[in-house]
Amino acid sequence: MLFSNLIFIADSSAWFNTDKLLTLIISLFCVIILLYTTYYKAKQSKFKIREIAGLKAIEDAIGRATEMARPLLFTPGWGGDIQRPTTIASMNILGHVASKTAQYNCQLIYPTHDPVIMAVAQEVIKGAYASAGYADRYKEDNIFYVSSSQFGYAAAVEGLISRLKPASIFLLGTFEAESLILAETGNINKAIQIAGTDSTIQLSFFIVACDYVLIGEELFAASGYLSDDHSIKASVRAQDIIKLLIAVFLIVATIWVTIDPNSQWWKL
């Protein structure tokens, strides 16, 4: 029995699946590009993420709420949890917004559908207020859980917007059918609205009803733009390089197949 087990272990197929070789090569290639943008390129020249209109408007939105003595409402949507990239990106922006509201002494309201997101948001906002030097202005009761039901959450946030009439609204995260309900309510109450999500379906509603929209990957690039963190900007640059290479590959592949329709190169 022991001898047969040793034979099985020695079998190369038990150690390496050749069917996944292409995936391994592509993964290593992506890692190399990321390391290049993170370490080597940093020594050669500085690079910047292009200006994003929605993020440039954050200061104006917070300033408007401060001047009008009305609150600012920030919500991550109903469709996500704390593990989703959109929620994490939303938290990065929340930290920046919280720091500014602390400086301007503007009330920040944060309703959410998930108790875990609520707890994380409380820590993010509390830390931002402390870093800004205004820990006494932090109000834990302004960050709260409303409902896990999609339309229960939508109704609760809609009611908050109608009653509190926030001067500015941030809709950043994962949104589903509640997106138009919230955006239209904010629009009716004449709030400046900055929205962003990775859902192509919900983006169309945000574009119609909101003043500024972070489209897809702009939401993920936001933390690098706001923090000027080199590691985040390097990862964004790496993604851009990989996308460019994929585009070139698709163009070459299209030309190749057009010239030689019988080519079976993709099966190699």
Q: Would the pLDDT of 265 be above 60? A: no
- The least confident of 21-30, 40-49, 166-175 is 40-49
Q: Would the pLDDT of 147 be above 80? A: yes
Q: Would the pLDDT of 102 be above 60? A: yes
Taking the C-alpha atoms of residue 31 and residue 233, their distance in angstroms, rounded to an integer, is 15
Domain locations in the chain as residue ranges: 53-226
Residue 160: which pLDDT band, with cuts at 50, 70 and 90? very high
Model pLDDT, residue 262: 67
Model pLDDT, residue 118: 95
Count of beta carbons in the 10 Å neighbourhood of residue 200 = 9
222 vs 49, higher pLDDT: 222
When the pLDDT of each residue in the chain is averaged and rounded to a whole number, the result is 84
Count of beta carbons in the 10 Å neighbourhood of residue 130 = 14
Q: Would the pLDDT of 76 be above 90? A: yes
* pLDDT (average), residues 134-154: 93
Most confident among 18-32, 108-122, 213-227 (mean pLDDT):
108-122
Report pLDDT digits (tens) over 39-73.
Answer: 765 555 566 667 777 778 888 999 999 999 999 99
Q: Looking at the domain that runs over 53-226, which CATH code has it been given?
A: 3.40.50
Full DSSP string of 81-109? -TTSHHHHHHHHHHHHHHHHHHHHT--EE
Residue 74: which pLDDT band, with cuts at 50, 70 and 90? very high
Which residues neighbour 263 within 8 Å (Cβ) at sequence distance 6 or greater? 256, 257
pTM score above 0.75: yes
* pLDDT (average), residues 17-21: 78
